[in-house]
Structure 1
Amino acid sequence: MKTTTKNSLHIPPQMWAEIKDYLLKSRRGNEEVFCVIFCQRQQISKHETRYIPKTWVVPSADCYEYQTSSGLVLKQDFHTYLLENHLEPELDIVHIHTHVGYGIPDFSYVDDRHESEYAQFISSNFSKKHRLISGVFDQNLQSYQFRIWDKKGRKFQELKFCNLLFDIAYHPKNTDNNLIDDLMFNRQKIFGEGNQKLLNQLKLGLIGCGGIGAIFTELLGRLGVKNWVLIDPDKLETVNLNRMPGATPEMVQQQWYKVHYVKHLIKKIYPQGSSVKTISATIETELAQQEIASCDLIVVATDNHLSRKTAQEIALKYMRPFVCLGTHIDVKSDNTPRMYCRITIPPLGGGWCLMCGNIINLQRAALESAPNEIHNIAASAGYLEGVNDPAVFWLNSICASTAVGIIHGMVSGFMNVDSGIDWIYDFPGSEWRKTDTEYLHNDDCYFCS
């Protein structure tokens, strides 16, 4: 039996809002409007392909040969302009247009003929055989259908369209565990049944299973998240026991990997019905990156700049929502401690990232990936501290619990992170400082611009 490839187009909420706004403004009356999006193809697995947007164009009125309520035709020179200036070798093309009326629209006979011809044209006239995706919306851009054409322009199959933060489809399962789950989450019904189902289906990739990551997993797991990919190369040490809930000296003696310890925490909550994949390696390894790319949400809770940089690059490449967690303790000149925790969520699809916002230090990231000889030279020159950062359980708990609350809000829809957030907790001042993310935008950023 042949397995059908699952295709999806995921446009970030903020980008879709801009596209939709331009489309509606380009309409003078009730005529049809058109948009072209150039997308990168991501092979998530053997049977799953995701298309993510890189650039988009909404034509102005003078780009149409004619534009009415019953159809539209773009000028040939405008088509040529699009292909010459935007169609890069690794990109595919998405055509979106509207039909007059409300409710789920149908593709017309004219749509079928023109799209078939265009799909064949772009796959046969360029060295890279580009694919055509087409979508039709009602006049308010609410209801829609999408499809993807084969390279010969003869057949098409349905394509899933998502313009939300999370691309999650809930599939109910009839298991004996359902009753237990219903009782377990009974006091979370205030957030809605749909919210709980999304939490249960969310697949979360956690990079860093230490003092913050372990508490984060315990809290988010009890909120209902059951599907995890855990990445961390380290084993438990005695020094970890002051901040790792449920960790024991016996686990240290038995040289448990941190990923296996955190899996143990999840399995204590869900002996059945959970899926936990553990990788006792760094995020720089190919296997770890492949697994993280398949997740709905990426969270990094490590203590080094290189892993955060790599995690951010994966999130940008595969356009996955991304959360960065960290804490820091230093001592002032009067010997009193100053403590911080930080939760950063860059906007999905770019705008600013950890690198362009200078939230991680690229020099430190480079040194962390350098050979030991370079490391030692840098340390002697004063570029690196000689001791690990101090850590305490309660500060990690503030960071982890706040992040869990934010993620709950993201999934539930009562918290908008489309523009990103950067929150810093300062103790002993006991205050949250919220960065104005407009100042983090950097159009020249190598990574996300």
Structure 2
Amino acid sequence: MKNKKLNIKFRIPEELHKRMLLDLKRPHPFAYERVGFLFAKTVKLSPNVNLVIAIDYLPVGDNDYINDKEVGAKINSNAIRAAMQGVFEKDCGCFHVHLHNHSGRPSPSFTDAKSLPGIVKSLNNIAPKHTNGFLILSRDAFYSSIKTDSISVIGYPFLLQYPIKKTIKDLMFDRQSFLGTNSQSLFENIKVGIIGYGGGGSHIGQQLAHLGVKNLTIFDYDKMEDTNLNRLIGGVYTDIKKAILKVNIAKRVIKRIFPKSNLTLIAKKWQQAPEELQICDIILGGVDSYTERQQLEAECRRFLIPLIDIGMDVYDSGGYSMSGQVILSMPGSACMSCYGFLTEDKLAKEAAKYGNVGGRPQVVWPNGVLASTAVGVFVDLVTGWSGNSDGVYLSYDGNSGKITDHIRKQFTSEKCDHFRIENTGKPNYTKI
């Protein structure tokens, strides 16, 4: 039996991408272009899927260029040794990078095709267990010497690149063309995870199907119960007696809306199938507790996956009040702890017991409001249609129906010290 094709997903933090572009655009006294080295970890998610995560960038010093008029840039052995030293110290792979300063997908020049494979061979000799290659940047795209399933710059908005495929125009999506000429292609290729298919997650799944998001992975181990019927979109009375799994309700709803959808249904906790989460490009979470949020956020940060979290609560303080939140936890930017939403005190008390008005009060309309808002954040993150590039911490007042920026947002630095880029990838365990 033939081996299946190896799918490689390449993720680059926005901060590193910006740092590379700024460095490579700088003029040099005599070289026509600059080059550098991008260090990257490789994580094997399954026998057929590798994740390559960029963790650091090394510019080539001015004095390490050789004055050769026949090529755009030529570097000396000091630059190569510095890159090799970085590979040893970081225990990772390495990519030679340079810039073709135009928009659109770049392609290698004759000189690139002739000279760069030799550098890659040297890198493979010293780091054979890691992924090495060369990467050509343009202002908004890439050429990679390794065949990738996707290359993504993780920021707000995303910069996403997939193999070129012909997208057939579908009238179903004609009225959302303002999202961008390539929005349909992005929705067809991006892989989205939904953690929890309850009151919020069922709204999210339904709306993503209407948008034409094709590849969905849904995690929920629960079966339909009578207490779910007041809010789970697509759930019906007969599902209770049959004890239908919520993921199967998701399949029924989504396939009826968008038959072309490609669904991965995980009828267990995400911790029991972490590789299925790690392969996702974006996660939308509707988990029930602070502890679950902390675990989910940490996992997403380790694998450079943006997490859009939603949640609601009801309190009795002399009269019922309803509140909720939508938070974007973007790798490299403020996390839920930075925003003060997750605190040691909350985690210690496990305060997410949905108020003090009984067991987990939930109703359909606030879940719909929060889910719709989260889907809007997702669409903007993928397409960049609004032109916004700010962090997201939205507060919902269910009594007034208002959604506003949370007051903590204006006092929060977008730089996160809780999750460092160099700590991405699967955790290492050390005997003590």
TM-score range, shorter-chain basis? 0.7 to 0.9
Question: Could you tell which deviates more after superposition, 394-403 or 297-306?
Answer: 297-306
Aligned partner of 1:210: which letter? Answer: G
8 Å Cα contact 1:351/1:448 also seen in 2: no
Superposition deviation, residue 169 in structure 1: 4.8
Superposition deviation, residue 39 in structure 1: 0.5
8 Å Cα contact 2:316/2:357 also seen in 1: no
Superposition deviation, residue 268 in structure 1: 2.8
Superposition deviation, residue 230 in structure 1: 1.0
Superposition deviation, residue 146 in structure 1: 2.5
- The residue number in structure 2 matching 1:408 is 379
DSSP-derived class of the 2:52 partner: strand
Superposition deviation, residue 409 in structure 1: 2.2
**2:22 equivalent to 1:21:** yes
User: 1:360-384 CA distances to partner (integer Å, 9 max, x unpaired)?
Assistant: 346766888xxxxxxxxx99xx9x9
Question: Could you tell which deviates more after superposition, 212-221 or 434-443?
Answer: 434-443
**2:137 equivalent to 1:133:** no
**Structure-2-length-normalised TM-score:** 0.80
Superposition deviation, residue 201 in structure 1: 3.7
- The residue number in structure 1 matching 2:95 is 94
Say if 1:75 and 1:357 are closer, same or farther in 2 by CA, change over 3 A: farther
> What residue ranges of structure 1 are gaps of 5+ in the alignment?
149-156, 369-377
- The residue number in structure 2 matching 1:224 is 212
Aligned partner of 1:123: which letter? Answer: N
* Partners of 2:347 and 2:98 in 1: CA distance: 45
Aligned partner of 1:23: which letter? Answer: L
- The residue number in structure 1 matching 2:300 is 315
User: 1:148-172 CA distances to partner (integer Å, 9 max, x unpaired)?
Assistant: 4xxxxxxxx6896544444545744
Superposition deviation, residue 7 in structure 1: 3.7
Aligned partner of 2:342: which letter? Answer: I
- The residue number in structure 2 matching 1:243 is 231
8 Å Cα contact 2:335/2:416 also seen in 1: no
Superposition deviation, residue 11 in structure 1: 2.2
Superposition deviation, residue 221 in structure 1: 1.8
8 Å Cα contact 1:38/1:93 also seen in 2: yes
Question: Could you tell which deviates more after superposition, 356-365 or 336-345?
Answer: 356-365
Superposition deviation, residue 293 in structure 1: 2.2
8 Å Cα contact 1:267/1:274 also seen in 2: yes
DSSP-derived class of the 1:32 partner: coil
DSSP-derived class of the 1:94 partner: strand
Say if 1:422 and 1:393 are closer, same or farther in 2 by CA, change over 3 A: same
Aligned partner of 2:36: which letter? Answer: C
User: Which runs of structure 2 are paired with 1:31-110 in the superposition (5 Å)?
Assistant: 31-64=32-65, 66=67, 70-85=71-86, 87-88=88-89, 90-98=91-99, 104-109=106-111
- The residue number in structure 1 matching 2:260 is 273
Question: Could you tell which deviates more after superposition, 214-223 or 24-33?
Answer: 24-33
Identity of aligned residues (%): 21
User: 1:301-353 CA distances to partner (integer Å, 9 max, x unpaired)?
Assistant: 11123332333233223323321111122222xx1233222111122x42332
* Partners of 1:408 and 1:114 in 2: CA distance: 38
Superposition deviation, residue 214 in structure 1: 0.9
Superposition deviation, residue 236 in structure 1: 2.0
Question: Could you tell which deviates more after superposition, 2-11 or 229-238?
Answer: 2-11
Report which structure shows greater RCO (CA 8 Å, sep ≥6): 2
Superposition deviation, residue 95 in structure 1: 0.9
Aligned partner of 1:351: which letter? Answer: S
- The residue number in structure 1 matching 2:6 is 5
* Partners of 1:428 and 1:100 in 2: CA distance: 52
* Partners of 1:96 and 1:388 in 2: CA distance: 55
2:341 to 327, 352, 359: 359
* Partners of 1:165 and 1:403 in 2: CA distance: 19
The structure with the largest alpha-carbon Rg is 1
User: 1:412-444 CA distances to partner (integer Å, 9 max, x unpaired)?
Assistant: 321456553211122435341245377244554
Say if 1:310 and 1:338 are closer, same or farther in 2 by CA, change over 3 A: same
- The residue number in structure 2 matching 1:147 is 145
**Structure-1-length-normalised TM-score:** 0.78
> What residue ranges of structure 2 are gaps of 5+ in the alignment?
423-432
Say if 1:341 and 1:256 are closer, same or farther in 2 by CA, change over 3 A: same
User: 1:231-274 CA distances to partner (integer Å, 9 max, x unpaired)?
Assistant: 0122222222221233233212221222222222212323x322
Superposition deviation, residue 111 in structure 1: 6.3
**2:85 equivalent to 1:112:** no
